[in-house]
Structure 1
């Protein structure tokens, strides 16, 4: 039997249910020709699924961070009912916009925090639950997943939560990360976490990175000297000069507007703080 782990890596189990890293070698009673075909098939499966996992796991994590939701019918058909993606869906806690958390059980039904069957309303909208959205249930869900030995495709239940300091909530710039110098390569790694490089200006430099926020604005991270288009290694290090909020989501060489960081929703604030902390560590 072929199955998939938390990273969508395929594995096989023998007739006794014992996991194996690869297909067993053909025995004397096996069809040598068919066995060779199946070896090739399993190798191709591993390659194909590796490509899918590289796209879909970050996609679901991004959906959690950005607060994306699916109508109940789409969630059931395209995620929970998908023959491959269901292996990821079962390893996450989901939440309706009404606040109900649940998981997808092995038999395809939904179960609540008490491990009792949950009927998903047809009118519900469903998203990957961020731990800040169900903090009062986090310990119970963590215990349930531990009991079932469910490993997650990305940090959800154990995801660090960060909060703005009181003074930062009324500030228009995030001072704690300013004037840090970081490797350009590490900085560009933020593009895998939802950040975008700013436009190339007349001198061929990209002077800032943008992280879109759910309200249509963006967190802007200004850089000195900036990233040279096509030649990022020309400037191996970048100094973080200003971190601010742009209501237009476009960015500029220096802070514009009067938005304060307390306007960010708790999930976005936590993710931005975690990402910038990791960047400057």
Structure 2
């Protein structure tokens, strides 16, 4: 840099020299340092422990740490925090960051101290993510959309598999449209940065939660060890040293290690919670992939689905198609993760195959044989695949656009309509008096199924029309009011 600057003359050389010699700990300081609020009192916060058991930072030093946090912005942290992280125990920093955030909440979340939320992006961990996500989902309903958006930045800043999983969950399921859209933008930014599609990023966001390749892990109580895992329905189980199966981990006993046993039990509780979240999200995602005919390459299938310690349990309860040169071959995954056809003969997945979940429409005459196999073997499916009802357009429907057979059916709770969002439907834009007049689902390029409830959905007052019929159902090139 200095050599090139010299080629442009003394003035350029002087400017670059000053730039390179600047201390980042000083050059980023504003003229007037921020003053954290009175609520940020070191006496009210847990100690910041020094690595190696060498005590804790004194209160005056903790005040400087708080000032460093106050100097920071979302994902733009004062560089001195790196030195703090080198000196302090990681767990201590995480606990300190959450305590700062909680004190800020107790103080009424003053806007000028919003850094207390941003700080979690630097100090937080997976447990922080689990605590923070419920608040993120609730804040828009409390008139704090901007705070929820800041929360998205925190999740992106933590950046762990669990953080990205929860960020993706918000993008898929949160009920507040603006927040959902912002989360989707954030996911799109991450995907674009990695050169991936949204679906491809979703494959990579499924965490393994620290499990071994077979979906198990060992919990150490010191005097005792237990192997924990998850069955084909992703329900947890525990095996003791003698191989006896238990429903849950036992309470720590007098002979167990006083630190290892409680920590292991706490870890298992968090693991069960995370697996429940993963299972619900991935079942919905796989069902949507079947309906939209999404495909994976053979390598993606083997790496992200078959090779995943949790997802493979779902994968082996479905029928799959391998498309090669325009020809589809149906197969399933056996208990030992090998592939087999409907006659239970070994199947080899071609390297260039496109793999997708078999919709019953695509199985043709083979549907009955596959249904019989899954029934005889007692394989429960994660969602309705082989027994899924299939409808064919009548000549009248094919010539027009109305689907009258689904209109004016039984009276339904409006909450059932709201629940359709979890199935991939989108609520329409609010019209007169803030009423959403339609719901739609994209089923192909420029092709939507749209339905109109007779009263609509009142934004912010869903109980205004607690029950209603579906009045009109039609196909259109875009969603809109009938």
SS of residue matched to 1:203: helix
Please report how far the alpha carbon of residue 165 of structure 1 lies from its aligned counterpart in structure 2 after TM superposition.
4.2
Alignment of 1:86 onto 2:315: no
Paired residue for 1:55? Answer: 281
1:29 positional shift: 7.5
In the alignment, structure 1 residue 23 sits paired with structure 2 residue 243: no
| Farther-moved stretch of structure 1 (220-229 vs 75-84) | 220-229
| Alpha-carbon distance in structure 2 between the residues aligned to 1:207 and 1:159 | 29
Supply the distance in 2 between the matched residues of 1:19 and 1:162 (Cα, whole angstroms).
45
Deviations 1:202-229 (A, max 9, x none): 4311111101112331011123322122
Select which of 462, 467, 473 maps to 1:237.
467
**DSSP 3-state at the match of 1:218:** strand
Aligned to 1:175: 404
SS in 2 for 1:65: helix
Question: Does the C-alpha gap of structure 1 residues 228 and 4 become closer, same or farther in structure 2, counting only changes over 3 Å?
Answer: same
Give the aligned partner of residue 136 of structure 1: 365
Match of 2:430 in 1: 200
Q: Secondary structure at the match of 1:7?
A: coil
Structure 2, unpaired ranges of 5+: 1-226
Cα distance between partner residues in 1 of 2:471 and 2:375: 43
Distance 1:130 1:172 in 2: 24
Partner of residue 335, structure 2 = 106
Q: Give the superposition deviation at 1:60.
A: 0.6
The 2-side partners of 1:29 and 1:62 are apart by 49
What is the RMSD computed on CA atoms of the aligned residues?
Answer: 2.5
Q: Report which of the two has the higher share of helix.
A: 2
Residue of structure 2 aligned with 1:73, choices 299, 304, 313: 299
Matched, 1:10 2:239: no
Deviation at 1:63, TM superposition (A): 0.9
With normalisation by structure 2, the TM-score equals 0.48
Higher relative contact order (CA 8 A, sep 6+): 1
Question: Which stretch has the larger CA shift, 141-150 or 85-94?
Answer: 141-150
Judge which range, 135-144 or 199-208, deviates more. 135-144
Compare CA radii of gyration and give the structure with the larger one.
Answer: 2
Measure, in 1, the Cα distance between the counterparts of 2:321 and 2:453. Answer: 37
- Does the C-alpha gap of structure 1 residues 3 and 138 become closer, same or farther in structure 2, counting only changes over 3 Å? farther
**How far apart are the structure 2 equivalents of 1:20 and 1:158?**
33
Asked if the contact 1:6–1:152 (Cα under 8 Å) also holds between the matched residues in 2, the reply is no
